[in-house]
Structures are given as structure tokens and as C-alpha cells.
Amino acid sequence: MPIFRYKGYKADGTEAAGTIEADGLRDAVSKVKDSGLFPQEVSEYIHGGKSFFSRKHDIALLPAVTRQLSILLSSGVPLIEALKSLTEENKGFWKGILMGIRERISGGSSLSKAMAEHERIFPEFYINMIAAGEASGNLGNVLSRLADFLEKQDAIKHRVRAAMIYPAFMVCIGFVVLTFLFTLVVPKIVRIFEDTRSALPFITVILINVSNLFKNYWWIIAAAIVGGVIGFKRLKEKNAVLIDRIIMKAPGGIIQNLYFARFTRTLGFLLDSGLPMLRALELSSRSIGNEAIAVKITEAGKKVTEGARLSASLEGFPPVLLQLISTGEKGGRLVEVLNKAADSYEEEFSRRVQKALSLLEPTMILLMGLIVGFIVFAVLLPMFQLNQLVR
């Protein structure tokens, strides 16, 4: 049943708005009137009409919605009633999604098939897990484990974003300060040297040229930055494997720890949930976020199909991780070993991020100090020369 948005007025003249399920536009208008409202605008609710950032924000609420649904089902609430409660609890985007899922289930569809119609919201592994939970009659526990997994993944994403905020802020502030100095402050200071016939120091000439570049050709610098970002995105789309290999070689091994944490956590979760090894490897490769590692996992899956062990199939992975996987395979504790490896990589990632941030602040301060010192020295040096000439 379609979902409609409405705006209208109550009998006392106050505004009212919301969503309603109806068979069509006329039915929606009729239901709005029956509720005691005077409809001003009634239109069908379209999920895809939101901006990119709004959709990203809405999809980020998936762990919370999954947790709520798991609690309701584990408490003995029927699926239809649980979805109805969630529909009333949520607003906007998720209200429409949950309404649609509930309507599909009321029509005889399964939860996994209803969610599969929203593939941009529910990942492939998520739908596979829901289908497995429905087949085993253990949907509540599966949803609980999915919520745990998604919350851990979400925590890692927040760590990455938090780690990137400070460097990005420092770079932006530094760029703004330097732009201000070179376009407004420095030109006024160096203007006193333009009428002098004496040769200026080389460092002062550099300062004047840089200042002129910022003042007269700032639009070229801005265009170069925008063009560089767009060019990098297009290059990554065409050469994703090559770019991701270069990213993996970043100093400090921070990025590697992040990707290996995702791989071990996802693979361990999927295997523990009963998925076959090949299917778990396939889904894990799609959730890593690095095409270079995904290719290696895909190649490992082919070797596993031929009868090879997983530890002997993962080429280019850290020796310690391969040894752990080998030990887990021999002892029948592969899931346990993968989860421990994920914990280790996540802790190491957090530790190295904190170390990098502790070094970044003094480095940025030192860099800004050198630039300001360069400006001061470039201004004072010709003043000393002029003073000598006057004497």
C-alpha cells in the first residue's frame, strides 16, 4: 500500500502534517478528512527524493532499528506487530521504509524478501542473515547478533571520522590563515620595497611572488584543488585496485589495521552465523572497502573451492594473521580466532591513530611557525638593508 504525505489544518486553525497509508490519492485525501483535518496538500511519499547527505544519515540509523526489532521479537512480539510499533516510533524516511516492509509481509512475503527490495539500505549479508534466521526460526537472535555487528562496525567508522576531523580542521584553518596573510597583510607590507632601487634579498622576492600568486591567481589555486579532488575520484574509479594498493602502503600501517579488522570481524561473524565459507568470503570481500584486498579474497575463494585451506589461500596477508587462521582451522576454532584477531586489529588501529594525532599537533604548529618565521624574516631583512644604506 502506498504511503502519502499530507499537510493541513485542524478545526482550530493550527497546522498539522504527517504520513498515511492509502490505496490511492483519493483514498488518502478521504482518510485525512476523516481524521478531522482540512487537507491542504497530499502527495505520495517517494524515498529516493532525498539528498545524498540525508540518505547517508538515514541509513546510518540501521543498527538502532535492527536493535529495536530484535528486542521486540525476542520479547515475543509478533513480527507484524513489531514492525507496526517501529513504524509508529520512527518518522520520515524509516517510517516509510518500515511501512512498506510491513505491507509486503502482510501480503505474504518474507522479511528477507521485503528487505531485499531496499538493497541500498540493507546490505547483502544482512538480507542473507535474515533469510537464515527465518529458515531456522531464530530470527530474534539473528537480529540481535546483526545489531551487535553493525554497532561495532559503526564504532570503527566513528573512530575513523573522529581521527580525520582534527587534521582536516587544522589544514583548513592553516590554509585560511595563509591566504589571509598572502592576500591582505603581506602586499601592504612589501609595498614599501617596490620603490627602492636596491636589489631585494632572494627570500623577499620569493615572498612577493607568492603573495602576488595568491592575490591575483587565487582562482587558479581553487580550481586546481577542486580539479585535483575530482581527478582523484575518477582515477580511483578507473584504477581502484592500484589506488587501494598505494593506500595500503601508507606509513604507520594504520590503514592496513583498519581493513584487516573489517575482514576478520565480518568473516568471523558470517561463519558464526552459519553461512558457508565461500559465501562468507564473497560477502566479506564486498564489505572491506578496499579493492586490492577484495581481489585477494576473491582469489582465495577460488582456491578454497579447489580444496585448499583458507590460511594457504590468502596471499599477501600478514604472516601473523595467516598463522592464527591456520591454528583456528586445525583446532576447529576458526570463528573464535577471527574474532580475537579483529579485536587485536581494532585495538592496534585505535592505538596508532592516537599516536599519529599526538604527533600531528606539534608538527602542524612547527610548520605554521616556519611559515610565519619565513614571512617575518623576508620582511625584516630588506628593512635592515635599507637601514644600512641610510647610515
Q: What is the mean pLDDT of the chain?
A: 81
Domain span including residue 11: 3-45
Q: Is residue 127 part of a domain?
A: no
Q: Are residues 83 and 40 in the same domain?
A: no
| Residues 218 and 348 reside in one and the same domain | yes
Residue 48: the pLDDT is: 47
Same domain, residue pair 38 and 57: no
At 43 the three-state DSSP class reads: strand
Same domain, 200 and 239: yes
More confident residue, 218 or 72: 72
Identify whether residues 65 and 41 lie together within a single domain.
no
* 134 domain residue, yes or no: no
Indicate whether 66 and 26 sit together in one domain.
Answer: no
pTM value surpassing 0.75: no
Please write the tens of the pLDDT for every residue from 19-67.
Answer: 666 666 777 778 878 878 877 777 765 554 444 444 454 567 888 899 9
Whether 91 and 74 map to the same domain: the answer is yes
Q: What is the pLDDT of residue 390?
A: 53
Q: How many domains, in total, are found in the chain?
A: 3
Q: Examine residue 376 and state whether it is found in any structural domain, yes or no.
A: yes
* 139 lies in some domain: no
Q: Check residues 186 and 86 and name the one with the higher pLDDT.
A: 86
Task: Report yes or no on 88 lying in a domain.
Answer: yes
| CATH number of the domain where residue 339 is located | 1.20.81.30
Q: What confidence score (pLDDT) does residue 323 get?
A: 93
Which triple of cell numbers denotes residue 184? 591582505
Q: What is the pLDDT of residues 91-150, one digit of tens each?
A: 777 887 888 888 788 878 888 888 888 878 888 888 888 888 888 788 888 888 888 888
Q: Which residues in 112-148 are b (16+ Cβ under 10 Å) and which e?
A: bbbbbeeeebbbebbbbbbbbbbeeeebbebbbbbbe
Whether residues 178 and 301 share a domain: the answer is yes
Q: Do 118 and 157 sit in the same domain of this protein?
A: no
For residues 78 and 174, state if they share a domain: no
Residue 144 is assigned to a structural domain of this protein: no
Same domain, 167 and 224: yes
Q: Does residue 128 lie in a domain region?
A: no
Residues 102 and 14 in one domain: no
Is 142 a member of any domain?
A: no
Cβ burial 61-72 (10 Å sphere, 16+ → b, else e)? ebbebbbbbbeb
Say if residues 3 and 20 touch (Cβ distance below 8 Å): yes
